[in-house]
Chain A
Amino acid sequence: MRKRVSSKFKKEDCNNHTCNLGDSVKVQHDIVIVGAGLAGMRAAIAAAEKSDELSIAIIAKTYPIRCHSVCAEGGTAAVLREGDSFDLHAWDTVKGSDFLADQDAVEFFVRECPKEILRLDNWGCPWSRNEDGTIAQRPFGGHSFNRATFAKDRTGFHEVHTLYERMLMYDNIEIYPEYFITNLVIEENAVQGVSAIELKTGNLVFFEAKAVIFATGGAGRLYGFTTYSHQVTGDGLAIAYRNGIPLKDMEFFQFHPTGLIPSGILMTEGCRGEGGYLLNIDGERFMKKYAPEKMEIAPRDVVSRAMWTEIIEGRGLEGEYGPYIALDLRHLGEEKIEERLPLIRDAAIKFAGVDPVEEPIPVKPVAHYTMGGIHTNVRCETTVKGFFAAGECACVSIHGANRLGSNSTAECLVFGRVAGEVAAEYAMNAKQGRISEEFMKMEESRIYDGLLGKNGDESPYEIKKELNETMDKNMWIFREENGLKEAVKKIQELKERYKNVEINDKTRGFNTDLMMAIEIGYMLDLAEVVAIGALKRQESRGAHYRLDYPKRDDENWLKHTLAYYTPEGPRFDYIPVTITKWEPVERKY
Chain B
Amino acid sequence: MAEFRIRRFDGKKSFWQTFEVPAKKGMTVLEGLYYIKENLDSSLAFRASCRMGICGSCAMKINGKPRLACETQVLFLGDKITVEPLDNFRVIKDLITDFEGFFAKHKAVKPYLIRDDVKYEEPKELLQTPEELNEYYVFTLCIKCGACYSVCPAAATLDGYLGPAAMAAAYRFCADSRDEGNEERYEIASSSNGVWRCHLAMECSEVCPKNVEPAKAVQMLRRKTAFSILKSILRW
Contact = CB atoms under 8 A, between A and B. Distances in A.
Given A62-B49, A158-B140, A507-B11, A124 B133 contact: no
Given A133-B129, A343-B54, A126 B137 contact: yes
A131 B129 contact: yes
Contacts of A263: 51-52
Given A118-B124, A507-B10, A70 B55 contact: yes
A62 B129 contact: no
Interface in B117-137: 118, 120, 123-130, 132-133, 136-137
Nearest to A461: B38
Interface in B32-90: 37-39, 41-43, 45-57, 71
A65 B56 CA distance: 8
Contact of B129 (A126, A129, A503): A129
Contact of A509 (B11, B39, B51, B125): B11
Contacts of B56: 65-66
Interface in A465-485: 465
B63 to A, nearest CB: 17
A49 interface: yes
Contacts of A166: 112-113
Q: Which of A115, A126, A169, A351 has the most CB of B within 10 A?
A: A126
B6 to A, nearest CB: 14
B92 A66 contact: no
B43 A513 contact: yes
B53 A66 contact: no
Given A124-B179, A169-B112, A129 B133 contact: yes
A134 B130 CA distance: 9
Interface in A159-180: 161, 165-166, 168-169, 177
A67 interface: yes
Given A165-B112, A507-B11, A510-B92, A65 B143 contact: yes
Given A165-B112, A265-B51, A121 B123 contact: yes
A165 B169 CA distance: 10
For chain B, the bracket of interface size reads 35 or more
A335 interface: no
Given A118-B124, A118-B125, A126-B133, A66 B55 contact: yes
Interface string A209-240: 00000000000000000000111000000000
Interface in A107-164: 115, 118-119, 121-124, 126-135, 154, 157-158, 161
Contacts of B71: 350-351
A512 interface: yes
For chain A, the bracket of interface size reads 35 or more
Given A129-B128, A231-B49, A512-B45, A70 B54 contact: yes
Contacts of B48: 230
Contacts of A512: 37, 45-46
B92 A121 contact: no
A241 B193 CA distance: 49
A115 B122 CA distance: 8
Contacts of B124: 118, 122
Interface in A486-519: 503-505, 507, 509-513
A124 B42 contact: no
A461 B37 contact: yes
B52 A347 contact: yes
A168 B93 contact: no
Contacts of B125: 118, 121, 134-135
Interface of A: 49, 62-63, 65-68, 70-71, 115, 118-119, 121-124, 126-135, 154, 157-158, 161, 165-166, 168-169, 177, 200, 229-231, 262-263, 265-266, 343, 346-347, 350-353, 459, 461, 465, 503-505, 507, 509-513
14 contacts: A66-B55, A121-B178, A122-B178, A129-B129, A132-B129, A133-B129, A134-B125, A161-B140, A166-B113, A168-B112, A229-B55, A351-B26, A351-B52, A352-B26
